[in-house]
Amino acid sequence: MHSVAVLVARFEVPGGQTVQAFTFALDCTPAEAACVRRQFGGRRYARNWAVRTLKQDLTRYHESGEATQMPSLAGLRKRWNQVKDTECADQVTGQVWWPEISKEAFADGIRAAVDGYWNWQASRAGKRAGRRVGFPRFAKKGRDRDRVTFTTGAIRVEPDRRHVTLPRIGTVRTHENTRRLERLVADGRARILAATVSRRGTRLVVAFRVLIQRPQQPRVQRPDSRVGVDVGVRVLATVADNDGVVIERVANPRPLEAALKELRHLCRERSRRTRDSRRYAETNQKITRLQRRIANIRAHRIHTLTTRLAKTHGEIVVEGLDAAGMLRQKGLTGARARRRGLSDSALGEARRQLAYKTDWYGSHLVTADRWYPSSKTCHHCQHVQDIGWSEHWTCHGCGAGHQRDDNAAINLARYEDTSTAGDTAVGPVGAAVKRGADPKTEPGSAGGRETRKGRSHTAAEQPRDGVLAR
C-alpha cells in the first residue's frame, strides 16, 4: 500500500566521548534580533505547512484511497522545495521571501512535524509510554516556543571568545565569555554538532551541542560513601548515609513563592491594560523577566547541589518519583498550592542532572523503584504504615519517632537494588514490579480495527493512518 521508509543510521557517540551542551546569551543588535525572529517564523511556517500537508494526505487517502509516500524528513523537504516559491510569496507584492530564511530553519520545522506524526502513531499503537499523544497541532505565534536548530553551515565560536557565528544570522556578540568552549575546539578536543537559538524570556540564547572528549574522571572525594537523597518541598534535598546519619539538609529557595506577591501584582496590572497596547507589552515584559529570574534561581541551586553530590559521594541513591503524576493530583485539600510547591521545587530535575554528572565524575547513581515506600517505612524495624502528608510520625511497630524527609533519605541509602535480568525487579514487598514504571499507552477502541497492526512492525512500516487495508 505504501513504500517502505528508508531508515537512517543513528549517530553513535564514540567511546571516551560525550555530547554536552554549552549555552551562551546573545547580545543582538536590533537588525540581528529581527533576523533571528525571521528564522523563528520560518521554522513555524514550515512546520505548519508540513502538518497541513499530512492532514491533506490523510483526508485524500480516506476519501479516494490514494496512497502517498510515508512521512519522512527527506520526502517532505523535497515536496517543500517544489512548492516554496508559491508558499513563501507575499500576498500583496508577490515577492518571494524564503531566501531570507536559512534552509535549516525550514528543515527543523518539518522535522518537528514528522516526529510529532510518528509519536502520534506510536501512541495509537500502544507502543509509547506515558500519556496519549495526539496528532501534531499548528504552531501559533506567541504560544509556540521560539527556537531553531542549525546542523549545517557556518557554526563556530570566534577566537576572540566574545562572538559566535551562525548560519544566515552572521557573527553575533555573546553576553558571556566563550573561552571554555573555544579552548576545547582549538585544542581539537571538541567538535560542534549543532546550534540551537531560542528565546528565553526577554533574552536570546544559543546552545551548542558539542561532541567532547571527556573520559571518566575518578575525582570523587569519598568513593566508598553511599548516600540516599530525598528531594521534597519543605527541604530541597535531604542527604543521609546508610548508618542513619543525616549528612546535609539543603534549604529550598522556593523562588516562585518568594516572588509570588510581585508576580500577582504584575498580573493584575496587566489585566488593566489594553491588549496589544504599549503599556500592555511593557508589563508583559516585566512578568517575563521575573519568571526568568525565578527559573534561574531554581536552576542555579539544583546545579550546585547535584555537582557537589556527584563529586563527593561514590554511590548516590535517589527515588524514581513520578513528578508529572504528582502534579496531576486533584480533589485534595490545598491541592492547588501543593502542585505549585511541587513545581517550584522541580523534583525530577535533580535526578536528571545526577544521571549524567555521575558519569562525568566517576560516581554511580542508583534509582530506587517508584513504588518503594521510603517515607512511610520505619528505618529501625522496617514497619510500613500510612502517614498521609504528616511531616512527623511515630512508628506503630517500635514506637520510634521519625521526620518524614530524614527517614526517607536513610531508607534510600539502605536501598538494595534487587533488579534481575529482564525488565522486572523484586520490590520491597517481595512482588515483581515493572522497572521504569512509565505506563504504556493502551490502544484505544476507535472502531475495532484502527489500532490492530497484525504482526510486529517497526514504526516506519506501519500504515500511515493506522488503518488496515480492507
Give the catalytic positions in this structure: 230, 319, 405
Measured between alpha carbons, how far is residue 44 from residues 38, 74, 142, 227 in Å? 10, 18, 11, 46
Going across the sheet that includes 364-368, the strands are 246-251, 235-241, 222-231, 313-319, 364-368
The 10 Å CB-count burial string (b at 16+, else e) for 328-346 is eeeeeeeeeebbbbbebbb
Under DSSP, is residue 156 helix (H, G, I), strand (E, B) or coil?
A: strand
- C-alpha angle 190/196/202, rounded to 5°? 125
The 10 Å CB-count burial string (b at 16+, else e) for 145-173 is ebbbbbbeeebbbeeebbbbebbbbeebe
DSSP letter, residue 223:
E
How far apart CA 210 and CA 216 sit, in angstroms, is: 17
Q: Which three cell numbers stand for residue 337?
A: 498550592
- State CA 432 to chain mean position distance: 30
Query: CB neighbours of 309 closer than 8 A, spacing ≥ 6?
Result: 227, 229, 239, 316, 354, 363
Measured between alpha carbons, how far is residue 156 from residues 37, 56, 185, 382 in Å? 20, 40, 9, 57
| Greatest Cα-to-Cα distance within the chain, rounded to the nearest angstrom | 83
Query: CB neighbours of 130 closer than 8 A, spacing ≥ 6?
Result: 438, 439, 441
- C-alpha angle 166/169/173, rounded to 5°? 70
Under DSSP, is residue 228 helix (H, G, I), strand (E, B) or coil?
A: strand
Query: Which residues sit opposite 384 in a β-bridge?
Result: 377
DSSP letter, residue 99:
G
The answer to whether the CB of 100 falls within 8 A of the CB of 36 is no
Query: CB neighbours of 407 closer than 8 A, spacing ≥ 6?
Result: 374, 375, 377, 378, 379
How far apart CA 173 and CA 460 sit, in angstroms, is: 43
Q: 73-76 contacts: CB < 8 A, separation 24 or more?
A: 73/107, 73/110, 73/111, 73/114, 74/6, 76/50, 76/110, 76/113, 76/114
Query: Which position has the grid cell 514550515?
Result: 46
